[in-house]
Amino acid sequence: MTVARPDEVRRYNRSSLLRLLHTAGPATRAALATALGLNRSTIKMLVDGLAEDGVVEERVPRQSRGAGRPSLLVLPQPEAAVVLAVDVQVEHAGIALVGFGGQMMGRNSWNLRGRQRDPDEVITHVAESAAVLAEDLGLTAIAAGVCIPGVVRRADGLVHGAANLRWGEVALGQRLGTVLNMPVVVGNDAEFGALAEHVRGAGRGSSDTVFVSADVGVGGGLISQGSLLRGSAGYLGEIGHMTVNPGGRSCHCGNRGCWETEVGEAALCRALGMPEHGPRGAIVAELRALHGDYGDRLDDYLEWLTLGLVNVVNILGPELVVLGDLFTALPDSAVTRVADQVRTRSMVSRALGGVRIEKSRLGGDLKLLGAAEAAFEGVLALL
């Protein structure tokens, strides 16, 4: 039997404490000891060491009540570790500097049109914008996370294909890492969306969650037993390309009747009687104007959404499905209708006693937060 050395135990305990503060936020020493199963003297030693290194600080709570000396809160210091988060979508890109504890320190975004979508242009713009943002804020990022709407090899950040961007075999991780001079983690946008929901969104406390997002295309990410499922070589989550309508429309992937041809952005525009390539804001505004009174306009669209989700639930058996991006603009009554149908029509849902289906509440920060969390996975162990 191998016995862990004291220094290994200390590193493990320190890393566990950092992870807890990063994801759960400020807490008292007593609460940290309880959550980690450590005694108070160990927690004191760890907190004192982190405070000395400038990673945390302790403060009296602003609203402390009652007699006696209040318990000090241990607070993560955002500047102690900063990562660069990059979100490349089909029509725009954004970056943010995110500090330890998940605090968004600053951001920038720009539209992608024509040649601006070329990998060379995106890499150059990311590097230049990141340098300007870091200088303006007086911060230095030590790692980066990048989400892409495509098939990504997690080991080295190779974008095997991003059809809506018209990218193929782009060594994004290697190229950005060289330009930025820092470790870079690249992943599918829905995969990082699932990570964000698990750490900071509706999926907190859920060990089995599927995140499904609708943009120009449809993607999915899976949390299984509390961990992000990455698949072989990191290729996972292309649920938008499962065939649901063999006689349906041609898909850009080369197949016919993919789920995203029935529930993606273009399909939603058709259901609303709008031009397929109109501005995203107009789609959201039209949905909000319905105020839940969508009549039969969305019937076919919601049926295809239900059909796909029944397949997803039957195959993956999650306790929670989180809907992101354009799906969050659907009327609440429509989502309730879909959820009721999925619970009724899915064998797995009936066996589980029901599957919760909720809309994401992280808004436009979702992908940036996911990319940041992916970058922090390798950073926290080094603090």
pLDDT digits (tens, 9 = 90+) for 283-319: 989 988 887 777 788 999 999 999 999 999 999 999 9
The DSSP-derived string for 232-285 is GGG----GGGSBS-TTS-B-TTS-BSBHHHHHSHHHHHHHHT--TT--HHHHHH
Four-residue CA torsion sign, 113, 115, 119, 124: negative
pLDDT in tens, 242-294: 999 999 999 988 899 999 999 999 999 999 999 987 788 889 899 888 877 77
Range with the poorest average pLDDT among 99-113, 224-238, 248-262: 224-238
Give the pLDDT band of residue 231 (cuts 50, 70, 90).
confident
Sorted by where each starts, the structural domains of the chain and their CATH numbers stand as: 6-59+71-76 (1.10.10.10), 80-191+366-382 (3.30.420.40), 204-361 (3.30.420.40)
pLDDT score, position 322: 97
Six-digit token pair at 280? 């995203």
Confidence (pLDDT) at 66? 56
pLDDT at position 65: 58
Tell me the C-alpha distance between 145 and 102, whole Å.
Answer: 13
The β-bridge partners of 83 are 98
DSSP element (H, E) containing 331: none
Residues 73 and 28 sit within 8 Å (Cβ to Cβ): yes
Q: Name the token pair of 94.
A: 């954004």
Task: Give the CA distances from residue 245 to residues 70, 241, 242, 251, 307, in Å, rounded to whole numbers and listed in that order.
Answer: 62, 11, 9, 11, 10
Q: What is the mean pLDDT of residues 31-52?
A: 93
- What pLDDT shows up at residue 1? 53
User: Angle 311-317-322 (CA atoms, 0-180°, nearest 5)?
Assistant: 80
pTM: 0.89
User: Residue 104 forms beta bridges with which residues?
Assistant: 98
**Residues 53-92: pLDDT tens digits?**
999 999 887 665 555 566 789 999 999 999 999 999 988 8
Other CB atoms closer than 10 Å to residue 133's CB: what's the count?
A: 19
- CA pair distance 368, 85, nearest whole angstrom: 5
Q: Tell me the per-residue pLDDT of 349-383, one tens digit each, with 9 for 90 and over.
A: 988 888 999 999 998 899 999 999 999 998 988 88
- Residue 2 predicted with pLDDT over 70: no
Confidence of residue 217 (pLDDT cuts 50, 70, 90): confident
Q: Are 353 and 343 in contact (CB under 8 A)?
A: no
Amino acid at residue number 355: V
Cβ-proximal residues to 91 (8 Å cutoff; 6+ apart), any chain: 111, 112, 113, 216, 280
Query: What pLDDT score was predicted for residue 277?
Result: 79
Alpha helices in 258-383 (DSSP H): 259-263, 265-272, 280-290, 299-316, 332-345, 347-352, 366-379
The structure tokens 């319905």 sit at 290
Q: Compute the radius of gyration of the chain from its Cα atoms.
A: 22
As given in the structure block, the two tokens for residue 354 are 């029901």
Q: What is the pLDDT of residue 295?
A: 77
Span 153-210, pLDDT tens digits: 988 999 998 888 889 999 999 999 999 999 999 999 999 999 999 999 999 989 999 9
Estimate the crossing angle of helix 29-36 against helix 6-24, to 10 degrees. Answer: 110
pLDDT of residue 300: 94
Is 185 in contact with 144 (CB distance < 8 Å)? yes
